[in-house]
Amino acid sequence: MWRGAISFGMVAIPVRMYVATEAHSAVSFRQLCPHCQLPIKQQRHCPTDDHVVAFNDVLKGYEVSKGQYVLMDEEDLDKLPLKTTRTIDIVEFVERNEVPLGLYIKSAYYLEPEEVGVKPFYLLKRALEDTNKVAVAKIALRDREHLSLIQVEGNTLLCNTLNWPDEIRSTEELNLPQNVKISDKEVSMATSLIDNLTDTFQPERYTDDYKAAFQQIVDQKMKGLKIVAPSAAQEPKVMDLMAALRASVEATKQGKKKPAEKPAARAAKVKVAARTSAARPAAKRRTA
How confident is residue 272, by pLDDT bands cut at 50, 70 and 90?
very low
How confident is residue 239, by pLDDT bands cut at 50, 70 and 90?
low
**Residue ranges per structural domain of the chain:** 2-20+79-167, 184-193+243-282
Higher-pLDDT residue of 224, 78: 224
pLDDT at position 198 is: 86
Chain centroid to CA 154: how far? 19
At residue 132, does pLDDT exceed 90? yes
At residue 225, does pLDDT exceed 90? no
pLDDT tens sequence across 4-20: 999 887 888 999 999 99
CATH fold, domain 2-20+79-167, is: Ku70; Chain: A; Domain 2 (2.40.290)
At residue 266, does pLDDT exceed 70? no
pTM > 0.85: yes or no: no
Angle at 218 between CA 33 and CA 42, to 5 degrees: 25
Question: If residue 127 lies in a helix (H) or strand (E), which one and from where to where?
Answer: helix 118-131
pLDDT at position 160 is: 94
At residue 131, does pLDDT exceed 90? yes
pLDDT tens sequence across 160-200: 999 999 999 998 888 989 888 989 988 998 898 888 888 88
Torsion angle (degrees, nearest 10) of CA 33, 213, 208, 234: 110
